[in-house]
Structure 1
Amino acid sequence: MTDARPLGAAEATFIAAARAGDPARFALVTERHRRELQVHCYRMLANYDDAQDMTQETFLRAWNKRESFKGHATLRTWLYRIATNACLDFLDKRNDRTPVPAGLPGSELSYLQPYPDGMLPEDPQESVVARETIELAFIVAVQHLPPRQRAVLVLRDVLGWPASKAADALGLTVASVTSALQRARVTMREQLPGRRLDWRSPATHELSDDERSVVKAYIDAHERNDLDGLMSLLRDDLRFAMLPEPGTLSRTARDAVDGWVSGGLFRRGRDDWRCVATTVNRMPAAALYLRAPGDAQYRLFNLAVLRIADGRIAELTGFDATGKPWLGLPPAL
């Protein structure tokens, strides 16, 4: 696996650290890649906790294989290769992570977790943080692919690797990579109808004014216990799910609202809310804090992640936000 470029400073530093067996120098040169590698693992696995674990596994494998690095490829390429194969090994061992059946709605993916924007790489120009390839819809669509198709799609179409480089990383032939990519693209088109699939073209990063306005209205309605106001923000064909609870999927706004009401929303004990606008997966979201009777503070309860289309909420994916400090949200207000 060769990038046809002279040995860079990072590669030279890594080789020196490897030869010296110096873990401190090793960590110094590899740590700068942590965030992008973690995003890469998240795309493969759709789960933040697992992505953290596989990123750590990547560094462990890199340390154990440090003497095999000769600088023929960039250090970044070498680490991506290790991370990809660590994820594939993880998927091979997990019976609960087989490709999502075609008929299963994506928002019912029980192991799906949001990705905090604060943990994304800092460079907004990096292809690894393009909004179109970190949104929940994309992450879920990727889960419909068999693991090696998944890896090929991410390496080729998201990271822009040539077929030969991806083939070398995965131990496949160029023909196999090309075939896998073609099949993966067909599945992605089925899962993401109407969306562009050329993720290497200029991508968006910021929320639109429309999105910010809808989030503000959603928060206002929620804090006022205004069920009609919430209903007015939802598209009729709203898709709603509350994860990781199974069986919560609703396909219409009416069904979603009926479920919220039957679950006790805005009744006593579920009627004292404060909400904070935030973003995850480069998508608009609201962190919902509930104050129980007799409690002096509002406690972090759920995270509502919104996909907004034409000024209304088309998808609302709720996540249990308790016990997840990595979300970067205060536990209480």
Structure 2
Amino acid sequence: MTVLQRAQAGDENAFRELTAPYFRELHLHCYRMLGSVTDADDAMQEILLAAWRGLEGFEERASVRTWLYRIATNRCLNAIRDSKRRPPAEPVPPFEPPPPSRTSDVTWLQPYPDELLQEPEAHAVRRETVELAFIVALQRMPPKQAAALLLVDVLGFRTADVADLMDTSATAIKGALQRARAALPAADPAPAPETERQLAKRFAEAFVADDIETITSLLTDDAWLAMPPAPHEYHGPPAIAGFLRASAEARTTTLALEEAGANLQPGFRCYHADQHAVRRYAGHLVLEIRGEGIHRITRFVS
């Protein structure tokens, strides 16, 4: 018997063997669709349960991979529809922040740890398809447009296959693709690795020292700071400096950063240490480097 036949006969070990090669890429697909690792984890449990229950009726008219992507995409679309993008509770800052430049509508965003992208099949993941700017753009699209874009442009499925997978016509998929592509931000060339490493290192040193002047000098003129799940955004070096200064003046603990890349971008786990050197996790920082400067700081608040 083949692995598929054994799995269809109720062999759980065979089912795990059948689905394991696709787990990591399906998880990343769910993250791209949902913008949240937590929601992707939950979706994967539902996807595997649905696959197990539906395996007996799988007739091999498509590959196992395509069949799993059908289940995954539709589960994600259902999750988005059912939740209606309910934002998480807005954290209450321990100080009075300056008025934000604007507020974000994507407060459920979470970072995707680079260690989850180190699996053997992840070597083909293109950086521009996992960076935070791309993930945010997907969250702002109508969900079916985002799904079509991911399935065709990122994962390489044929338009006709995606139409079948999403139970629609090829014409509808082509229209969704056209609109989704137009909504994507312009892709900037990836910075030189050494430039990125040096900028991230200098930022980290200045951040833990509350050296606002140095941080400001590292920013591009159009840099901005976001803080999911808080909706506040600060645009431009003066606004960012104002927020960081207010935060530093109110803080009674020492900052520490631990290098931890996310979304294939420079990142750090952030900790607060009290007078007894007891460290408390305080979120994740992710940097977007553009040219010779830091264009975006995303501080994921714990």
Once the two structures are superposed, what CA deviation does each residue of 1:66-103 show, in whole Å capped at 9, x if it has no partner?
Answer: 012122322111111110011111112122269xxxxx
* Pair 106,34 (structure 1): closer, same or farther in 2 beyond 3 Å: farther
Contact 2:212–2:244, Cα closer than 8 Å, also in 1:
no
Contact 2:102–2:234, Cα closer than 8 Å, also in 1:
no
Deviation at 1:274, TM superposition (A): 2.0
Q: Tell me the residue number matched to 1:227.
A: 212
Q: Tell me the residue number matched to 1:58.
A: 47
Q: Tell me the residue number matched to 2:65.
A: 76
Q: Tell me the residue number matched to 2:116.
A: 119
- C-alpha separation in 2, matches of 1:290 and 1:216: 19
Deviation at 1:222, TM superposition (A): 2.1
Contact 2:113–2:260, Cα closer than 8 Å, also in 1:
no
Q: Tell me the residue number matched to 2:13.
A: 24
- Partner residue of 1:311 out of 292, 295, 298: 292
| TM-score normalised to structure 1 length | 0.80
* Structure 1 portions without partners, runs of 5+: 1-8, 99-103, 197-203, 322-333
2:25 is aligned with 1:36 = yes
Sequence identity, in percent? Answer: 36
* Pair 244,235 (structure 1): closer, same or farther in 2 beyond 3 Å: same
Q: Tell me the residue number matched to 2:242.
A: 258
Where 2:221 maps in the other structure, the secondary structure is strand
Q: Tell me the residue number matched to 1:181.
A: 177
Which range is displaced more, 104-113 or 276-285? 104-113
Contact 2:267–2:285, Cα closer than 8 Å, also in 1:
yes
Where 1:96 maps in the other structure, the secondary structure is coil
Once the two structures are superposed, what CA deviation does each residue of 1:242-268 show, in whole Å capped at 9, x if it has no partner?
Answer: 11112x2011111111112223x1556
Higher RCO, 1 vs 2 (CA within 8 Å, ≥6 residues apart): 2
Contact 1:15–1:70, Cα closer than 8 Å, also in 2:
no
Q: Tell me the residue number matched to 2:91.
A: none
Q: CA RMSD in A?
A: 2.4
Q: 1:248-327 to 2 correspondence within 5 Å?
A: 248-263=232-247, 265=248, 269-270=252-253, 272-293=254-275, 295-321=276-302
| TM-score normalised to structure 2 length | 0.88
Contact 1:107–1:240, Cα closer than 8 Å, also in 2:
no
Where 1:72 maps in the other structure, the secondary structure is coil
Which range is displaced more, 219-228 or 152-161? 219-228
Once the two structures are superposed, what CA deviation does each residue of 1:201-241 show, in whole Å capped at 9, x if it has no partner?
Answer: xxx7x971111101110111123332222221122321111
- C-alpha separation in 2, matches of 1:67 and 1:105: 51
